[in-house]
């Protein structure tokens, strides 16, 4: 007898479980509770009160731009209505436990009684008929049978019509949750049968805070300015912002440097804020050559010309808000806020409105141009050229009054003056003294411009504030500053303010002459002559209206 042993198959080495597939941040950090749903507090409060009072609608419609949480909200409502709690005895709640079988199944997308349908790929009446037929049967394991229809506006007209009756009088165990980005395409007959929630764009501040928390959980460092840039680029969409952040983390690599603002700008093709400020200053100063060089430099760095025009629009908008006294954006760098405040003090509202219209027109042209960089250059040159043109409103008023049109005021005032130098010449006490000094100094043309066209807001030598609503020649400020510096040995600060100001010296003289003429016309001697000669008129007054 021989002994034999069947050793069977040799032992196999233990194999490691396959690595879990990477989940993008937009999916990984999708809100699982209403407390994680950012920026939609009003809707959460309404739903919470409806659940507590057992006043639940049979159909809900969530609208809003992409990435604000419409589908996530629909899933949270499904969990809130079907949650049974950790002990299995709970009821509908605004705070689903997340651990019971219905909560976990809904979160994983495998609950048999929660049916999600993409209306973009199921647009026909047959798809809706399946929903209608299945809705007659009670839920298998949940409290409610819930239909989540994403992009519901994509349903055909016949599909909507087929759904109307069931949507108006559904079985008690059925709830409909619709989501759409284009609510205007949903028939009014459907809207009237749903409880509508308009999900707002998420504020940039909340998005930046949310991204900072995501970075903390991911163990990634990120500059606050970088997160602010991502939040602004997301335009109120959490999903868009998380996708950009995901890209930024990948861009940062493994060197430990984290997500930087410079890297985000390069990744998104955004203009550097400092370069935008420099370019805007060149536009205001009329430096065409410098503006073109600055634009080309950014273009060579890979910045989209549309992005440059967009940044200029943001700058004009920010300056206008600063001028009306709006609160400063805390996410903006200190340098940006300071520059905008300085520009707001030196630019009038008509100039800002004109800049906005010019840059906006340029942005639209560049966005659709066959030659974007060339179109951007032409748009900037048009901004510089148009700044020298008269203000249309004032030009119309002057033409209506019979006056000759004057050239436009320069876009920007002279730069802030350094501390005044020791006084080496007596400063003119009044504005009319200043004009007379200019005449005596030989600057007759400049004196005439001020005499005929300058409306003074404040005269406090060496500071002169003129009305921005009164057009003046573009080179007046530059020439005046140079002449006054040479004449008074001091640097003058010449600015504009958007108030009417005093009448021009010419208008004051004409008003004084008119007053004298009317006084003479009503004097006793002239009155007696008028009574003796009723047809008499006073004509010996060049340029004045006849009195009869």
- The parent domain of residue 58 ranges over 25-198
271-309 pLDDT, tens per residue?
677 788 889 988 888 888 888 988 988 888 778 899 899
Q: What pLDDT does residue 539 have?
A: 62
Domain identity same for 47 and 147: yes
Q: What pLDDT does residue 489 have?
A: 84
Q: What pLDDT does residue 416 have?
A: 46
Which of 243, 268, 293 is at the close of a domain?
268
The answer, yes or no, to whether residue 423 has pLDDT greater than 50, is no
Average of per-residue pLDDT across 140-155: 90
Q: What is the CATH number of the domain that holds 105?
A: 3.40.50.300
Domain identity same for 71 and 158: yes
Domain identity same for 193 and 85: yes
Read off the pLDDT band of 66 (50, 70, 90): confident
Cα 214–218–222 angle (5° rounding)? Answer: 70
In a domain? residue 210: yes
Domain identity same for 277 and 184: no
Q: What is the CATH number of the domain that holds 357?
A: 1.20.272.10
In a domain? residue 364: yes
CB 78 within 8 Å of CB 67 = no
Domain identity same for 293 and 249: no
**Which residues are paired to 148 by β-bridges?**
116, 177
Mode of pairing for the β-strands spanning 195-198 and 59-63: parallel
Of the candidates 465, 447, 546, 460, the one whose C-alpha atom is nearest the C-alpha of residue 502 is: 465
In a domain? residue 458: no
- Predicted TM-score (pTM) of this structure: 0.59
**Cα separation of the two ends of the chain:** 154
Count of structural domains within the chain: 3
In a domain? residue 449: no
The pair of structure tokens assigned to 83 is: 């949650």
Distance separating alpha carbons of residues 349 and 352, to the nearest angstrom: 5
The answer, yes or no, to whether residue 81 has pLDDT greater than 50, is yes
In a domain? residue 215: yes
Average pLDDT, the chain: 81
In a domain? residue 474: no
Q: What is the CATH number of the domain that holds 220?
A: 1.10.8.60
Domain identity same for 120 and 154: yes
In a domain? residue 8: no
182-241 pLDDT, tens per residue?
899 999 999 999 999 998 888 888 899 999 999 998 888 888 888 988 888 888 888 888
Read off the pLDDT band of 478 (50, 70, 90): confident
Q: In 10 A of CB 471, how many CB atoms?
A: 20
Q: What are phi and psi of 249, to 5 degrees?
A: -65, -40
Read off the pLDDT band of 402 (50, 70, 90): low
In a domain? residue 441: no
DSSP per residue, 187-216:
-HHHHTTSEEEEPPPPPHHHHHHHHHHHHH
Which of 386, 416, 442 is at the close of a domain?
386
The answer, yes or no, to whether residue 158 has pLDDT greater than 70, is yes
Which of 153, 173, 198 is at the close of a domain?
198
């Amino acid at each position: 007898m021989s002994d034999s042993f069947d050793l069977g198959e040799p032992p196999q080495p233990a194999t490691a479980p396959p690595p879990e597939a990477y989940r993008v941040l937009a999916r990984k950090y999708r809100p699982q509770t209403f407390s994680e749903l950012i920026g939609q507090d009003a809707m959460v409060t309404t739903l919470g009160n409806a659940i507590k009072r057992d006043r639940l609608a049979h159909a809900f419609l969530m609208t809003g731009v992409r990435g604000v949480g419409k589908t996530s909200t629909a899933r949270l409502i499904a969990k809130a209505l079907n949650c049974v709690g950790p002990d299995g005895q709970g009821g509908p709640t605004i705070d689903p436990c997340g651990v019971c079988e219905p909560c976990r199944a809904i979160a994983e997308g495998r609950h048999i009684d929660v049916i999600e349908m993409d209306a973009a790929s199921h647009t026909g009446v047959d798809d809706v008929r399946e929903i209608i037929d299945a809705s007659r049967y009670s839920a298998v394991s949940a409290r409610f049978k819930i239909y989540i229809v994403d992009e519901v506006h994509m349903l055909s007209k016949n599909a909507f019509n087929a759904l109307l009756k069931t949507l108006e009088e559904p079985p008690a165990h059925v709830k409909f949750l619709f989501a759409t980005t284009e609510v205007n395409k949903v028939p009014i007959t459907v809207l009237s049968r749903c409880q509508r929630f308009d999900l707002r764009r998420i504020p940039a501040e909340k998005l930046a805070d949310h991204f900072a928390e995501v970075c903390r959980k991911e163990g990634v460092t990120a500059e606050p300015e970088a997160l602010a840039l991502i939040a602004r680029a997301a335009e109120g969409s959490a999903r868009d912002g998380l996708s950009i952040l995901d890209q930024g983390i990948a861009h940062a690599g493994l060197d430990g440097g984290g997500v930087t603002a410079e890297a985000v700008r390069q990744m998104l093709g955004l203009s550097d804020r400092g370069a935008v400020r420099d370019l805007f200053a060149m536009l205001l100063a009329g430096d065409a050559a410098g503006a073109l060089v600055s634009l080309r430099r950014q273009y060579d760095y890979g910045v989209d010309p549309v992005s440059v025009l967009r940044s200029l629009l943001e700058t004009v908008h920010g300056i206008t808000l600063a001028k009306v006294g709006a609160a400063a954006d805390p996410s903006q760098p200190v340098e940006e806020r300071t520059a905008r405040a300085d520009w707001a003090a030196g630019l009038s509202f008509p100039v800002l409105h004109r800049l906005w219209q010019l840059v906006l027109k340029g942005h639209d042209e560049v966005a659709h141009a066959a030659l974007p960089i060339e179109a951007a250059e032409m748009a900037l040159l048009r901004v510089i050229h148009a700044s020298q043109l008269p203000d249309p409103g004032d030009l119309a008023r002057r033409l209506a009054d019979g006056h000759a049109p004057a050239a436009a005021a320069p876009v920007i005032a002279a730069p802030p003056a350094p501390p005044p130098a020791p006084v080496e010449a007596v400063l003119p006490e009044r504005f009319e003294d200043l004009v007379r000094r200019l005449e005596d100094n030989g600057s007759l043309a400049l004196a005439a411009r001020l005499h005929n066209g300058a409306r003074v807001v404040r005269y406090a030598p060496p500071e002169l504030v003129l009305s921005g609503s009164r057009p003046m020649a573009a080179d007046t400020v530059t020439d005046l500053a140079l002449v006054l510096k040479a004449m008074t040995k001091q640097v003058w600060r010449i600015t504009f303010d958007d108030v009417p100001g005093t009448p021009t010296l010419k208008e004051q003289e004409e008003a004084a002459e008119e007053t004298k003429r009317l006084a003479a016309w009503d004097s006793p001697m002239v009155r007696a002559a008028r009574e003796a000669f009723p047809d008499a008129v006073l004509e010996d007054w060049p340029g004045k209206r006849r009195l009869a």
